[in-house]
């Protein structure tokens, strides 16, 4: 069996599996990614430096089965690095057979033994599940000595830990990695550290993988806790797309982990983070989520006090540089909360008016008094220009070529 490695924090991208289960695909009437879209996303992930990709088991449908074959062949034309194509399979010989036939060189196996799973889902007793897992995984390992195998107890954080141990004891000799999925997003960071510590003590010869759902908004915090405690495989997807409220985003995980683990910068091409998020936005026909850390939204300011400060020194309200992650500009949005500093900046630097600071203050007073006019029928910029032109302000005569870079500190 291959020796596990702990030299690198591995992102296991599950955009093509859990990501296609996201309600957002239904909200945007996408439903599933086309093969061409998957190729674009896969190329972006490989350019970023991701090497582990999780796919549906081909048994879910012939369309997905064919896509898996095509994507694996396509990926191998893009990189000479070792890449892992992981079939997300039930602990079922047919699932495993179909994944291997499609070209997967790894398996992400799962089986639920929580009380709810025993009663309503798998409908097997703990003893039956243990026997099944041992027999299937032992046979798979014997037939494929070099195959990468991860095994997870589904809904691990609602399963008594002693039951998880009972299941993992049976498969431990045959796997590379043991998972700890928080399938319904109930875990807190303290829970994560406790479980990771116990698993490491009991199973020191294998790696650990985490899969956290965001039902409570704690998925990314739980990733941070898990990695600090020793986990080296982190499930994530572009934008965090997944069932319900999703899982951590690939770029959010890399951004956060790089704070504590600077070697991330040499292991991943971080400048591709934002382009990858924009690519997904173009495919779904919507904006990068405002909750995504690696986004232009995270460099957008609307409050007057913030805008004034950022015009003078970005660090006042931007504690974390995103430049290395591909976000190389920020936005100051003109709106009802803007103060005279941004109005002065906008009229002088964007609209090229000849304007003094005192004139900007007076225009700002009228703008503030008329913000109720702003809406779908009149944008903030339109209202401001209306006021400025009514004041009789003239514009600078511009040369034929205007520099694209503007000085943001107006003093």
Angle at 299 between CA 307 and CA 379, to 5 degrees: 60
Return the CATH number at 58. 3.20.20.70
pLDDT in tens, 300-316: 777 777 777 777 777 77
User: Are 234 and 356 within one domain?
Assistant: no
Range of 374's domain?
Answer: 296-411
User: Are 191 and 109 within one domain?
Assistant: yes
Weakly modelled stretches of the chain, pLDDT under 70: 1-6, 117, 120-123, 317-319, 398-411
User: Are 279 and 405 within one domain?
Assistant: no
User: Are 213 and 96 within one domain?
Assistant: yes
Count the Cβ atoms, other than its own, within 10 Å of residue 406: 11
Domain boundary among 244, 260, 284: 284
User: Are 177 and 303 within one domain?
Assistant: no
- The number of folded domains in the chain is 2
Residue 291 lies in a domain: no
Domain boundary among 256, 284, 312: 284
pLDDT score recorded for residue 402: 46
């Amino acid at each position: 069996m291959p020796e596990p490695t702990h030299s690198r924090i591995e992102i296991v991208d599950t955009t093509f599996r859990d990501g296609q289960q996201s309600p957002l695909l239904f909200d945007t009437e996408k439903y599933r990614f086309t093969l061409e879209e998957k190729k674009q996303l896969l190329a972006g992930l490989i350019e970023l430096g991701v090497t582990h990709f999780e796919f549906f088991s081909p048994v879910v449908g012939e369309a997905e089965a064919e896509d898996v074959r095509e994507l694996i062949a396509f990926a191998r034309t893009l990189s000479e690095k070792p890449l892992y194509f992981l079939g997300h399979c039930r602990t079922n010989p047919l699932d495993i057979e179909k994944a291997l036939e499609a070209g997967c060189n790894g398996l992400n196996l799962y089986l639920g033994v929580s009380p709810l799973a025993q009663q309503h889902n798998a409908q097997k007793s703990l003893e039956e599940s243990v026997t099944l897992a041992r027999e299937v995984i032992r046979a798979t390992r014997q037939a494929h000595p070099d195959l990468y195998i991860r095994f997870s107890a589904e809904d691990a954080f609602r399963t008594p830990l002693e039951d998880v141990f009972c299941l993992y004891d049976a498969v431990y000799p045959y796997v590379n990695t043991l998972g700890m999925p928080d399938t319904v997003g109930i875990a807190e960071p303290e829970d994560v550290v406790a479980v990771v510590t116990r698993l490491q003590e009991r199973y020191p010869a294998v790696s650990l993988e985490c899969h956290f759902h965001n039902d409570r908004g704690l998925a990314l915090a739980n990733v941070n806790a898990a990695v600090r405690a020793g986990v080296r495989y982190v499930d994530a997807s572009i934008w965090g797309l997944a069932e319900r409220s999703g899982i951590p985003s690939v770029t959010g995980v890399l951004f956060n982990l790089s704070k504590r683990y600077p070697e991330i910068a040499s292991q991943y091409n971080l400048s591709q983070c934002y382009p990858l998020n924009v690519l997904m936005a173009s495919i779904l026909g919507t904006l990068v989520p405002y909750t995504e850390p690696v986004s232009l939204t995270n460099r957008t300011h609307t409050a007057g006090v913030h805008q004034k400060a950022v015009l003078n020194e970005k660090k006042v309200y931007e504690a974390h540089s995103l430049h290395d992650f591909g976000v190389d500009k920020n936005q100051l949005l003109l709106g009802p909360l803007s103060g005279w500093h941004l109005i002065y900046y906008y009229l002088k630097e964007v609209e090229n008016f000849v304007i003094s600071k005192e004139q900007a203050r007076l225009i700002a007073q009228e703008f503030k008094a008329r913000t109720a006019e702003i809406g779908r029928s009149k944008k903030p910029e339109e209202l401001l220009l209306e006021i400025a032109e009514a004041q009789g302000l003239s514009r600078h005569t511009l040369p034929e070529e205007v520099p694209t870079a503007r000085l943001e500190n107006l003093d």
